[in-house]
Amino acid sequence: MTLALAGRSAWESVILMRVTDHLYFYPWGDPKENNCNSVVIDGKLPLLIDPGHLHRVDDLKHRMKLDGFDPNRIKVVVATHAHPDHFEGAAAFHGHSVRVGLSWHERKFIEAVAPDLYRLQGPSLSEPQVDFYLREGTLGIGRFEFEVLLTPGHSPGSICLYWPRHRILISGDVVFMDSVGRSDLPGGDARTLKRSLERLSRLPVDLLLPGHGPAIEDKDRVKENFKFVRKVFFSAM
């Protein structure tokens, strides 16, 4: 497995994961503004995971086009959780030909907590546009199959997607390189986050694609990262 970095400016760099011709990883690296990483998995039903902030979707679409991928081909959008830097941009794709999915357990968070959280971060939350809700188990998108894992702690209905065929973990805001997601936001809980982290650490993972920061490549580096964040953030628990 190798990572190929396109020749663009630092924060606009597009990384294509050569583990498969179907997967694109778009890291957000602009230090001036928060936004999440996005993942595109191309196939019969092209899938976008974590579209990011609504006002940054044009940047994401531009980077897709630079890779030769037409963003109008997206058919399914899934958010790992409902925080605006991951979910808000789904509105730019929602329509009769695109279905938007979110964790079943995150729906109460949207109803009770998310509006205030969205107002704190600037935008206002309109009526959630969710076409289907995800539960734990196998998710089939076209000919690809993913495992949906409920991983609360950062958000009460946070999910991760695991692609067993390629041993790829899309971890949302549960775990990053050398760090973990915040648990002090509404709906967060540190002990629950620790349990989610422990669960993920038992998976065979060759490539970890987090919601923020760089990807982690190689199973040994992934394991070491889990050990590091466990020691630094949860040693007292």
Phi, psi of 22 (to 5 degrees): -100, -5
Q: What is the pLDDT of residue 62?
A: 93
pLDDT given at position 75: 97
Please report which helix (H) or strand (E) contains residue 114, including its range: helix 114-120
Mean per-residue pLDDT, 160-169: 96
Q: What is the pTM of this model?
A: 0.89
CA distances from 64 to 2, 50, 91, 151, 195 (A): 20, 14, 18, 28, 35
> Could you give the CA distance from residue 180 to residue 196 in angstroms, rounded to a whole number?
11
3-class secondary-structure state, position 146: strand
Reduced to 3 states, what is the DSSP secondary structure of residue 12? helix
pLDDT digits (tens, 9 = 90+) for 6-48: 333 333 444 444 446 789 999 998 888 999 999 999 999 999 9
Residue 95 three-state SS: strand
Q: For residues 216 and 235, which has the higher predicted lDDT (pLDDT)?
A: 216
pLDDT of residue 133: 95
Tokens 């959630």 — which residue?
128
CATH of the domain at 16: 3.60.15.10
* For residue 80, pLDDT beyond 60: yes
State which residues form the domain around 48: 3-234
Residues 6+ apart with CB under 8 A from 36: 28, 50, 52, 85, 86, 173, 211, 212
Q: What is the pLDDT of residue 237?
A: 78
Per the structure, the count of domains in the chain is: 1
Which whole number is the average pLDDT over 136-141? 96
pLDDT band at 119 (very low <50, low <70, confident <90, very high): low
